Amino acid sequence: MAVLILGDIHANFSALEAVFDAAGPVDAVWCLGDTVGYGPQPNECVRWVREHSAATLVGNHDLGCLGTISLSNFNREARIANEWNGEQLTPEHREFLTSLTPMAQVNDEVTLAHGSPRDPVWEYLLDTEAAAASFGHFTTPLCFVGHTHQPVIYTGAEEDGECSATIPTDQLVLKLQSNKRYIINPGGVGQPRDGDARAAFALYDAENRTVTFRRAAYNIRRTQTLMLDNGLPEILAARLSFGL
Ligand code: ZN
């Protein structure tokens, strides 16, 4: 089974379409949350996710757009964008996002968490110390996370609490080892933050136990134009050019 793993789409439908094109045929799609917020096409993205994704999480920005968590938790630009995204969402799409959880175990092998298994709504896994503390909060060999918009592989050995981090490059194929556990971030689809402006995603091959890290170029200008046309903060449009 080939699974397309998507994180942090952030209402960037051009990026989402480019990723789906680049991924080729897959058997399933799993989404790590933050489908909306920041970007200009929240309803298009939620509609796509509802149609295609077999397992979908809710992220902190989704919850901000829904009003479930206070917008005071976000910086000024994110707040403006989340407020606008929230106003755009159709009642049906609001209901769908409201029904989701920030963490879910999809099968015996894989758990999904938006931020981290320890704190699925808010924690950013930015170092091995934080990642090591999360291995005790899920039971499967593999967990995919989003939230930081930066691709990373955290590897934990079974016998001790040690954890190492690897930054995957485009096209890297990780062979999962049976005596190790992993927390993996595929990077962000709609607002990459690792200095590469291309949309990031991963392909998980359950039979061969591999995870392939990929990037897809998309029409950034199109997303930026839609953002500015809708009065979203300029800085949020500008950052897409730099992958920051
Ligand atoms: Zn996000």
**DSSP class per residue in 192-232:** --SS--SEEEEEEETTTTEEEEEEE---HHHHHHHHHHTT-
Confidence of residue 162 (pLDDT cuts 50, 70, 90): confident
CATH 3.10.20.600 at 2-102+169-179+186-241, yes or no = no
Per-residue pLDDT at 161 exceeds 80: no
pLDDT tens-digit series, residues 12-58: 999 999 999 999 999 999 999 999 999 999 999 999 999 999 999 99
pLDDT range class, residue 235, cuts 50, 70, 90? very high
Amino acid at 88: Q
Total count of residues recorded for the chain? 244
* Alpha carbon of 8 to ligand 1 centroid (Å): 5
CA of 139 to the centre of ligand 1 (A): 25
How many angstroms does the Cα of residue 140 sit away from the middle of ligand 1?
Answer: 24
Domain boundaries, the chain: 2-102+169-179+186-241
Residue 158 has pLDDT above 70, yes or no: no
* C-alpha of residue 93 to centroid of ligand 1, in Å: 18
Band the pLDDT of 121: cuts 50, 70, 90. very high
Q: How far is the CA of 108 from the centre of ligand 1 (A)?
A: 26
